[in-house]
């Protein structure tokens, strides 16, 4: 089963706004094993809309259209679609009554232009008449069409509540579908493919999807069958088999972020942590404190960007900075020990590096990062060479530091 997406909005083709709706729908469809063969972006009042819709009907089994359902003069999707499909527009009385009620509840006066919101093509079915925004679905020439609002929050609500469940059930032909998303860090997509290939007989009947979600890699496993409990058991066995292949690279099938996983292990072991950052500029502290309740285990952190700050706040020896440099094993070790002592915690995590684009040298090119970890058992430091933009190197440094701590806590 394959389909396509048509998004409308002048703000999209001018580049002022990203096409979040198409990206969201395409990702969710891909995760569910449904193929998207085309994404078309059109401006408001685009003369190509009717041509695009006609072509889509000839080649796709489902079409998702977003945008142009509002009350303003440039919201022409419904009228253009009705004309292209040779269908009459009619005013849905129940929908009109709901629109009036919503305006009254918000204390807004009625305007005649709002009546346009209740006009839909004949044969269409309104989606979610109880929400603040609605769309509609329609079957035409054997294809299913879904018209959704352009506001991302409203579009996502209708898509997740109505469109995706319908398409998944329709594609399954009465069978059940179960899917699991596995999150991994520290393994390339090629290495992940090799690990999946080693699963042997488990590959048969499994739809595997690979997609990067920087700085992680995500893997989806999709199964279809007549017994949902059997499908769940098979997914459990698949997950366990893959875990044996990749080890600690697997962060888990759960939706918990890396900082949440770190927090769980710190809390389980009744340990506290302090963090010293240089090149990451507080990114690790920011992520750790995004977790509610992180004050149970995160005692504090410092951003020591200059050498003077490293000496004054973390007691990094001056001769270490002069002889070894700020980006070195000795400095990372000293930073980790220093922050551990300043905050009186059993664990100290430190990062120092060159995020670029300038500042590198032949001995220490851009992307050189040292991470230090101090614990009651001693202090250790590791060197990494990351690649990418300044923001990507900072993100990889923070992710790698927290992932090292996660593994050590296990």
The alpha carbon of 219 is separated from its chain's Cα centroid by a whole number of angstroms, namely 13
DSSP state of 80: H
User: Under CATH, which number does the domain 258-409 receive?
Assistant: 3.90.950.20
Instruction: In whole angstroms, give the CA distance from residue 155 to residue 14.
Output: 21
Architecture of domain 176-252: 2-Layer Sandwich (3.30)
pLDDT in tens, 240-293: 999 999 999 999 877 789 999 999 999 999 999 999 999 999 999 999 999 999
Question: Could you tell me the fold of the domain covering 2-172?
Answer: Molybdenum Cofactor Biosythetic Enzyme; Chain A (3.40.980)
Mean pLDDT over each residue of the chain, to the nearest integer: 91
User: Which among 320, 353, 323 has a CA at the least distance from the CA of 334?
Assistant: 320
Q: Which band of pLDDT confidence, cut at 50, 70 and 90, is reported for residue 297?
A: very high
Give the highest mean pLDDT range of 7-21, 116-130, 366-380. Answer: 366-380
Sheet of strand 207-213, all strands in order from the earlier edge strand to the far edge? 207-213, 216-225, 176-184, 250-252
Least confident of 38-42, 108-112, 144-148: 108-112
User: Which among 129, 121, 113 has a CA at the least distance from the CA of 71?
Assistant: 113
66-to-9, 114, 154, 159, 199 alpha-carbon distances in Å = 9, 19, 10, 10, 40
Residues across the chain: 410
Angle at CA of residue 145, ends 153 and 36, nearest 5°? 75
Q: What is the pLDDT of residue 228?
A: 84
Q: What is the pLDDT of residue 261?
A: 95
394-to-157, 336, 368, 385 alpha-carbon distances in Å = 33, 18, 11, 12
- Interval 66-81 mean pLDDT: 86
Q: How many Cβ atoms from other residues are within 10 Å of residue 1's Cβ?
A: 16
Q: 0.85 cut: is pTM over it?
A: no
Angle at CA of residue 49, ends 150 and 166, nearest 5°? 55
Q: Which band of pLDDT confidence, cut at 50, 70 and 90, is reported for residue 203?
A: low
Q: Which band of pLDDT confidence, cut at 50, 70 and 90, is reported for residue 129?
A: low
For the chain, the structural domain boundaries read 2-172, 176-252, 258-409
Residues contacting 392, CB < 8 A, separation 6+: 214, 215, 386
Instruction: In whole angstroms, give the CA distance from residue 229 to residue 248.
Output: 27
Q: What is the pLDDT of residue 170?
A: 84
Longest CA–CA separation in the chain, Å = 82
User: Which among 197, 178, 168, 194 has a CA at the least distance from the CA of 236?
Assistant: 178
Q: What is the pLDDT of residue 216?
A: 93
Peptide bond into 136 cis (omega under 30): no
User: Residue 252 pairs with which residues in a beta bridge?
Assistant: 183
Considering the chain, what percentage of its residues have pLDDT values greater than 70? Answer: 97
Residue 229 has pLDDT above 60, yes or no: yes
User: Which among 399, 400, 402, 395 has a CA at the least distance from the CA of 383?
Assistant: 400
Q: What is the pLDDT of residue 72?
A: 78
- Interval 7-32 mean pLDDT: 90
Residue 133 has pLDDT above 80, yes or no: no
Instruction: In whole angstroms, give the CA distance from residue 91 to residue 399.
Output: 53
Fold identical between 2-172 and 258-409?
A: no
- Interval 124-142 mean pLDDT: 81
Instruction: In whole angstroms, give the CA distance from residue 137 to residue 145.
Output: 6
pLDDT in tens, 341-389: 999 999 999 999 999 999 999 999 999 999 999 999 999 999 999 999 9
- Interval 144-160 mean pLDDT: 91
The alpha carbon of 315 is separated from its chain's Cα centroid by a whole number of angstroms, namely 39
Q: Which band of pLDDT confidence, cut at 50, 70 and 90, is reported for residue 59?
A: very high
Residue 202 has pLDDT above 70, yes or no: no
């Amino acid at each position: 089963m394959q389909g396509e997406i048509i998004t409308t909005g002048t703000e999209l083709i001018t580049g002022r706004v990203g096409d979040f709706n198409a990206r969201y729908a395409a990702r969710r469809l891909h995760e569910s094993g449904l193929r998207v063969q085309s994404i078309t972006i059109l401006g408001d009042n685009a003369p190509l809309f009717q041509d695009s819709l006609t072509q889509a009907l000839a080649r796709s089994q489902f079409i998702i259209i977003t945008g142009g359902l509002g009350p303003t003069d440039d919201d022409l999707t419904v009228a253009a679609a009705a004309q292209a499909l040779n269908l009459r527009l009619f005013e849905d009385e129940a929908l009109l009554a709901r629109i009036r009620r919503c305006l009254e509840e918000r204390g807004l006066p009625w305007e005649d232009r709002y009546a346009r919101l209740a006009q839909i093509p004949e044969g269409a079915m309104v989606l979610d008449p109880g929400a603040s925004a609605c769309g509609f679905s329609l079957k035409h020439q054997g294809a299913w069409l879904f018209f959704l609002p352009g506001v991302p929050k409203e579009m996502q609500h209708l898509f997740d509540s109505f469109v995706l469940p319908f398409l998944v059930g329709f594609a399954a032909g009465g069978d059940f579908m179960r899917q699991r998303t596995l999150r991994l860090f520290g393994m390339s997509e090629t290495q992940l493919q090799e690990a999946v290939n080693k699963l042997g007989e488990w590959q048969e009947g499994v739809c595997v999807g690979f997609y990067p979600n920087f700085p992680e890699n995500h893997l989806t496993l999709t199964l279809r069958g007549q017994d949902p409990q059997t499908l769940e058991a098979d997914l459990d066995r698949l997950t366990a088999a893959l875990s044996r292949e990749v080890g600690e690279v697997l962060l888990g099938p759960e939706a918990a972020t890396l900082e949440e996983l770190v927090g769980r292990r710190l809390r389980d072991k009744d340990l506290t942590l302090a963090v010293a950052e240089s090149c990451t500029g507080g990114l690790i502290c920011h992520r750790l404190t995004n977790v509610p309740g992180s004050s149970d285990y995160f005692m504090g952190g410092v951003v020591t960007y200059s050498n003077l700050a490293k000496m004054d706040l973390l007691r990094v020896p001056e001769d270490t900075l002069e002889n070894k440099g700020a980006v070195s094993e000795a400095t990372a070790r000293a930073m980790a020990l220093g922050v551990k002592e300043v905050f009186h915690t059993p664990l100290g995590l430190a990062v120092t590096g060159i995020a670029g684009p300038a500042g590198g040298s032949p001995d220490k090119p851009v992307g050189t990062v040292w991470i230090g970890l101090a614990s009651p058992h001693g202090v250790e430091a590791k060197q990494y060479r990351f690649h990418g933009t300044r923001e990507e190197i900072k993100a990889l440094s923070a992710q790698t530091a927290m992932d090292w701590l996660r593994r050590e806590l296990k």
